[in-house]
Structure 1
Amino acid sequence: MTTLVIEERIVKSRNRVRAYGEVFTPRHMVDQMLDLVSDDLEEGPEFVDKTFLEPAAGDGNFLVAILHRKLRAIERRLSPSVWADESLFALASIYGIELLEDNHEDARAAMLAEFVAFHARHGAPQSPDTDLMRAASFLVDTNILRGNTLTGRDWRGEEIQFSWWTRDAHSPGMVVREPFSLASLRESHGFDFTVYETYAVCRIDHIHEEVRAGA
């Protein structure tokens, strides 16, 4: 009998290692590291909303593993009636920044594929035209950005900006979008004087409509 051993790729090329210090973390090491924060990911109170930022996302191995664990915990701990909304809130809690274009595209695709696979296992429609999948795609595009964490700039040279996706305490399934800059997370005084767009409270599965406050 022949045993096939598949080794994970940890580098794409020596040139990329020299130019960018690019080395990928093997999945077993990712899992070991995430085991250290399993309470936040899977067991603790409000585990769905605990936020994670991967400042060097690569092709998304950490991001996908975090999402996988959150979705698995949702499946185990919550009623199926809320899986759709809660899976979107889980997706909204995960942020990433990646410098290289091909890695950035791979990371976004992997995150969306993990989300789709979760709902496919339970027979939910996976058409990209559904509100669920449009909202998921929007969250991935908004939360997983191409840029340089060290400079705080995206690939266009503009300041990296994210959004908090905060639940409306009085209306289940409703979300408040609050933009913020990456730089504001680094400031010891905590003030951010940037003027941002403001958004109306809406259902989590309608965030792709981007309704501005007062519209």
Structure 2
Amino acid sequence: MTQTITEELMVKSRHRVKAYGEVFTPRHMVNRMLDLVREELETGPDFVDKTFLEPAAGDGNFLVAILHRKLRAIEKRCPPESWPNESLFALASIYGIELLEDNHEDAKAAMLAEFSRFHARHDIPCGPDTGLMRAASFLVDTNVIRGNTLTGRDWRGNEIQFSWWNRVPNSPGMVQRDPFSLASLRDDNALDFTVYDTYAVCRIDHVHDEARASG
């Protein structure tokens, strides 16, 4: 009997390794590294909102593994009626930057596929036309940026910007979007003087409406 072993793709081409230093982290190493932060991901207080930034996201292996662990912990620790909102807050806590266009698209698609599988397994409507999936797509598009971490610029040459998605105290399911620059994270004493759009408080499953605050 012949056993077929499928090896994980470590490199896509020699050219990409030479030009971009692109080498993918194997799944077993991803899991071992995430085991080191198991408390933040799965068991600690406020685990859903613990933020993670992958500065070289590749095709999303770390991003998807982080999301998978958070969703599994939500399933175990949160009441079922909260799963749609909590899964969106989990997405909102995961950030990534990837230089190459094909990897960037693959990473976003993989995250949404993981998100969709979780809800499909529990018979929660999550088709492309649902508010849940529209919100999820918006969060992934906003949090996973195509750009260069070393230069702090996106693929258009603009400064990389992210947003915090802050829960509103005493208002379950409500979120306040607070933009910030990647550069402001590089130095503990950095002051971010950029003037950003301000956003109205809204439900986490309505973030795709991008309601900007008036005034």
TM-score range, shorter chain: over 0.9
Aligned to 1:39: 39
Is 1:178 matched up with 2:178?
A: yes
**Structure 2, unaligned stretches of length 5 or more?**
none
Count, aligned residues: 215
Aligned-partner Cα distance in 2 for 1:144–1:100: 12
Deviations 1:98-154 (A, max 9, x none): 000000000000000000000000011122111100000000000001000000000
3-state SS in 1 of match to 2:177:
strand
Aligned to 1:62: 62
Deviations 1:22-66 (A, max 9, x none): 000000000000000000000000000000000000000000000
Aligned to 1:52: 52
Aligned-partner Cα distance in 1 for 2:9–2:61: 12
Aligned to 2:125: 125
TM-superposed CA distance for 1:198, in Å, is 0.1
Aligned to 1:151: 151
Root-mean-square deviation (Å): 0.8
Aligned-partner Cα distance in 1 for 2:190–2:43: 30
- 1:21 aligned partner, one-letter code: G
3-state SS in 2 of match to 1:96:
strand
TM-score (norm 2): 0.99
3-state SS in 2 of match to 1:166:
strand
Mean Cα deviation higher: 126-135 or 17-26:
126-135
Is 1:86 matched up with 2:86?
A: yes
3-state SS in 2 of match to 1:163:
strand
Aligned to 1:208: 208
Aligned to 1:23: 23
TM-score (norm 1): 0.99
3-state SS in 2 of match to 1:180:
strand
- 1:147 aligned partner, one-letter code: G
Aligned-partner Cα distance in 2 for 1:203–1:188: 31
Aligned to 2:114: 114
Aligned to 2:99: 99
Deviations 1:6-36 (A, max 9, x none): 1001000001000000000000000000000
Aligned-partner Cα distance in 2 for 1:114–1:43: 20
Aligned-partner Cα distance in 2 for 1:22–1:155: 17
